[in-house]
Structure 1
Amino acid sequence: MKKIFLLILIAFSLGIVSCKQDPKKETTNNEEIIPVEVVSLQQDSIHQSIYAAGQFTTDDETALGFKNGGVINRIYVKEGDAISKGQLLATLNLTEVNAMAEQASLALQKAQRDYERASNLYKDSVATLEQMQNAKTALDVARQQHSSAGFNQTYSEIRAPKSGYVLRKLANEGQIVGPGTPVVQVNGAGQSSWILKAGVSDYQWSAIKTGDKASITTDALPGQTLEAYVSKKPEGVDPMSGTFQVQLQLKNAPAGKIASGLFGKATIFPSQSLQAWSIPYDALLDGDAGTGYVFITNDNTTAQKIKIQVDKIENGKVIVSGGLESAKALIISGSAYLNEGSKIKIKK
């Protein structure tokens, strides 16, 4: 009886051990393969609008300063004032400048007398030719110094180069400024057309041409759309923003309704098509600020996660401008179960 009971106990123990060990073997031996759907990738020519934002300005904003350094005597304008061409905007204290001009005038008079005396002595064979020539050279130098002093007197004041507005006052009366230090910033809005400087990406820049049509809206003019066109296409990146600053010139700017620095939104209509990929929205994973991620496969057995450049999302489609150049097939279903390097099986 004891032998029978012992045999039953041994058999029961072996059964428990086998139950614990079998699942481990299945987990270790089996590798999960995820079924997915894919589509082949091919660039298409896509006609689409380009959206950009920027600030209004004119193409002749100028920071004005004095040619010579000194103490600012008067500034006759304030920020926002309308100005006309030739209007006096600011002056320096002319005490030092006038003194230098007077010195130059006295030096010129002395050089003139010295030359006349040397010339007369040379005629009487008292002075040598060299002495007369040296006096003539000194006279010429004095004339140039007198001319320079007069020029400095003229540019010890600031006058408006064009009719427009004072954008900023950068210095105050009584302040000491150096040569060329900006004192006031003005524009020529009274004569020039307003433009919107809008930043675009390198992909968008390649599709834009000078003369392309555009439309602009701004919160300052609710419900109005301003017609514009691409007046300038830059050949370099703006170092401050890292974008290409395309200039959009307004065709008919409403008088008194636009100010420098005003924010505007632009829609540009390129005359040529863009080369891009159009993929289903469901294939797009997480993304931010124009970038996203998708899964692709190049061997139909392994999934690879890559970063893409998203240009636009519309009508359930994602327009991709970069990142898919080396991809053969895009995974459009089953992405939620995938990781980098996951084994996949293509659904028939």
Structure 2
Amino acid sequence: MRILLLLVPAAFILHSCGTPASGKNATARSQADTIPVQVMPLDGNRSGLSPIAVSGQFTTDDETQLGFKTGGVIRSILVKEGDRIHAGQLLATLDLTEINTQVSQAQLGLEKAKRDFQRVQNLYRDSVATLEQLQNAQTALDIANQQVSAVRFNQNYSEIRAGQDGFVLRKIANPGQVVSPGAPVLETNGDKGWLLRVGLSDRQWATIKLGDKASLETAALPGKTLSGTVSRRSEGVDPQTGTFTVDIRVQGSAPLAAGLFGKGVIQPAAGAAVVKAGAWAIPYQALLDGDGSSGYVFVTNDGHTAHKVHVRLSGMEKDQVLISDGLTGSRDLIVSGSAYLNDSSPIRITPSTPVQ
């Protein structure tokens, strides 16, 4: 009986001491089961909204090479590269000795044709010349008139005049040089606004649309950012570069020059087709069991529990996978620690970089 009484307090003491130890072990086991992960917010990570970096040269869409209608010796070039020009301004002339001779010859031929026609007409009235002879004289007079018009037209185009306001970009020939008909002598452009002409890959070309906004920079204007808008998308690839040409029109006026190197960023509009399809760009390491056009990722909506979801792939880029379906409604994508997770695994979000 005395031994029984001693055992009861001892059991009570052991039970009392064992309870706290048991609680600590449970907590330790709970922490050990919680898997540390790193996450990436899914809001704003749709691939269609990703800015596109571009580079190219500034130009205009009305560059023109001007030449003479007729060939000959250049007499004078009245402008220099970089000069501002105005519509109708005389830019260059040919030596007119040869063309003036041609005009004089045509004029003499016209005067002779008039005399011949008058003579045959008088003879026809006196019934000496036939109707056929009169008609032939009339035809010769008409031909002489057309010849005079042709040489005078060439005489007028033996000088170069500006077709619009703009600038002289290049002087291709010099005074004293013999040029053939139509050979370029000057290259000019208009003043209707500057463009940054860039080349894009097929994926980038498919992402942007007319009217998308862009911010542009050039070393010629340090510290200044220009605003632009996509104004043209080529419908065919450039065979020389293998890229699609896109023009970004610079808004407002800026002291630019043709050929200046520029770079910028195009921000595709939210209404682009790829965004309508619901595409996301995620890191490669976040994708599990990728098989052709499908795979799995882990997401979390509360920051404490991981959920495995099936996703559909739409493509791959340099360091990203494009997801077209499966992430709608998810808050955060688990990008590190996925290999240790199961569906509904408890997680603990850790910083993406070590805390010092």
Is the structural similarity TM-score above 0.5? Answer: yes
* 1:13 equivalent in structure 2: none
The letter for the 1-side match of 2:195 is I
* 1:129 equivalent in structure 2: 131
Alignment partner of 1:76 is 2:74: no
The CA deviation string for residues 314-342 of structure 1, in whole angstroms up to 9 with x for no partner, is xxxx2569xxxxxxxxxx99xxxxxxxxx
* 1:53 equivalent in structure 2: 55
The letter for the 2-side match of 1:263 is F
1:280 aligned to which of 279, 283, 292 = 283
* 1:160 equivalent in structure 2: 162
1:52-131 matches, cutoff 5 A = 52-131=54-133
The letter for the 2-side match of 1:84 is H
5+ residue gaps in structure 1?
Answer: 1-43, 285-294, 299-307, 322-331, 334-346
**Distance in structure 1 (CA, Å) of the matches to 2:242 and 2:71:** 36
**Distance in structure 2 (CA, Å) of the matches to 1:199 and 1:268:** 12
Structure-2-length-normalised TM-score = 0.66
Q: Shift of residue 240 of structure 1?
A: 2.9
Q: Shift of residue 241 of structure 1?
A: 2.2
**Distance in structure 1 (CA, Å) of the matches to 2:119 and 2:179:** 43
The letter for the 2-side match of 1:64 is L
Asked which structure has the greater CA Rg, the reply is 2
User: Partner of 2:146: helix, strand, or coil?
Assistant: helix
User: Partner of 2:265: helix, strand, or coil?
Assistant: strand
5+ residue gaps in structure 2?
Answer: 1-45, 293-314, 324-334, 343-356
**Distance in structure 1 (CA, Å) of the matches to 2:179 and 2:290:** 62
- The farther-off stretch of 64-73 and 116-125 is 116-125
Structure-1-length-normalised TM-score = 0.67
- Does the aligned pair in 2 maintain the 1:229–1:249 contact within 8 Å? yes
**Distance in structure 1 (CA, Å) of the matches to 2:286 and 2:99:** 73
User: Partner of 1:235: helix, strand, or coil?
Assistant: strand
The letter for the 2-side match of 1:237 is V
User: Partner of 2:203: helix, strand, or coil?
Assistant: helix
Q: Shift of residue 53 of structure 1?
A: 0.9
1:118-197 matches, cutoff 5 A = 118-189=120-191, 192-197=192-197
The CA deviation string for residues 277-302 of structure 1, in whole angstroms up to 9 with x for no partner, is 73425599xxxxxxxxxx9766xxxx
The CA deviation string for residues 136-187 of structure 1, in whole angstroms up to 9 with x for no partner, is 1111111111001001110001111122211111111111111110001011
**Distance in structure 2 (CA, Å) of the matches to 1:103 and 1:277:** 77
Number of aligned pairs?
A: 260
**Distance in structure 2 (CA, Å) of the matches to 1:235 and 1:310:** 23
**Distance in structure 2 (CA, Å) of the matches to 1:87 and 1:46:** 49
User: Partner of 1:233: helix, strand, or coil?
Assistant: strand
Alignment partner of 1:242 is 2:249: no
- The farther-off stretch of 114-123 and 270-279 is 270-279
